[in-house]
Amino acid sequence: DVKVTQSSRYLVKRTGEKVFLECVQDMDHENMFWYRQDPGLGLRLIYFSYDVKMKEKGDIPEGYSVSREKKERFSLILESASTNQTSMYLCASTPGASGRRYEQYFGPGTRLTVT
């Protein structure tokens, strides 16, 4: 079974802190994604990556950056956390060159609270 793990289930940070969210998948998937989930808004794509050292902006990249130094690991970085970044963050991965028709496998999520 594909396993996607995220470094923390719950995280509390202060405004202005630099925050790292880590995601690791164990199935050699090419594609990895970071979403944030907010009530009534569903999942919104922050960044995604189709290959090592490659990244593309999603729909809401402002205030975030990412890093993919190894195929299995995709990190989301909040350079200076703000209260409006309090949310549930979900990582996902999928195989295939484009990933279009493949199931996305999700991690359990990290609930981040910024105070």
Partner 1 sequence: AQSVTQLDSQVPVFEEAPVELRCNYSSSVSVYLFWYVQYPNQGLQLLLKYLSGSTLVESINGFEAEFNKSQTSFHLRKPSVHISDTAEYFCAVSASEYGNKLVFGAGTILRVKS
**Structure tokens belonging to residue 101:** 């028709």
Residue 114: closest CA among 79, 77, 87: 87
> What's the rounded Cα separation, in Å, for the pair 102 and 7?
24
Which region, judged by CB under 8 A, interacts with partner 1, from 15-23, 68-76, 78-86, 106-114? 106-114
- Does residue 109 touch partner 1 according to CB under 8 A? yes
> What's the rounded Cα separation, in Å, for the pair 10 and 19?
13
- Does residue 106 touch partner 1 according to CB under 8 A? yes
- Does residue 1 touch partner 1 according to CB under 8 A? no
Which region, judged by CB under 8 A, interacts with partner 1, from 16-24, 63-71, 77-85, 103-111? 103-111
> What's the rounded Cα separation, in Å, for the pair 85 and 59?
15
Site residues (CB under 8 A) for partner 1? 4, 33, 35, 40-45, 48, 58, 90, 92, 98-101, 103-104, 106-109
